[in-house]
Amino acid sequence: MFMLGLTGSIGMGKSTTAKMFADAGCAVWDADAAVHRLYEKGGAAVSAFRSAFPEAVINDEISRPALKEIIARDETALKKIEAIVHPLVGKDRANFLATARSEIVVLDIPLIFETGGNLRMDAVACVTVSGELQQERVMARGTMTQEQFENIRAKQMPNDEKCALSDYVIETDTVEHARAQVQAVIEDIKERIRHA
């Protein structure tokens, strides 16, 4: 099983690209979706949060807005939250890998380099577009202000650094262009598997 990490900053087209890998027959695991599963009613993180941050648990699920407020007022909170969430996300990923049946598995991990996750991958692909197009896409969602977007972008590893550290770079300027590159990445990996 070949493990391909997929990363990219906000608004770069990572979700769309992950779907293209899935459509091409790769098993895809999404770190953000795993966190959503952990936070929902009956999710594995709820009881730990009930002990550590009771005000974050509303209607038996973890409230992201409440977490944001906690993080904003307590600078030690994020480390505590990560200490609860990261091992549970790791367990979710391990369960996925134990049952995945495709030759190539894609692990969609936004902070792969920041967390050292790249060291566990056989290769990493980074999705990218120009800063202008990135901003245009994020603003078009209508879910955040310009300032919130700038803050998120400032916290993420610069795009050119991510691209430089990656084995593959997929430009998502158009759907057709992205799909052709996904196909090329899959072909290249299959070639690598054959010669391993």
Tell me if 1-26+103-196 shares its fold with 32-101.
yes
pLDDT tens across 112-142, in order?
998 899 999 999 999 999 999 999 999 999 8
pLDDT tens across 147-175, in order?
888 888 887 899 999 999 999 999 999 99
Domain boundaries, the chain: 1-26+103-196, 32-101
Domain 1-26+103-196 is of which CATH architecture?
3-Layer(aba) Sandwich (3.40)
pLDDT of residue 158: 92
pLDDT tens across 29-86, in order?
999 999 999 999 999 999 999 999 999 999 999 999 999 899 889 989 989 999 999 9
SS3 letters across the chain: CEEEEEECCCCCCHHHHHHHHHHCCCEEEEHHHHHHHHHCCCCCCHHHHHHHCHHHEECCEECHHHHHHHHHHCCCHHHHHHHHHHHHHHHHHHHHHHHCCCCEEEEECCCCCCCCHHHHCCEEEEEECCHHHHHHHHHHHCCCCHHHHHHHHHHCCCHHHHHHHCCEEEECCCHHHHHHHHHHHHHHHHHHHHCC
Q: Output the CATH code of domain 32-101.
A: 3.40.50.300
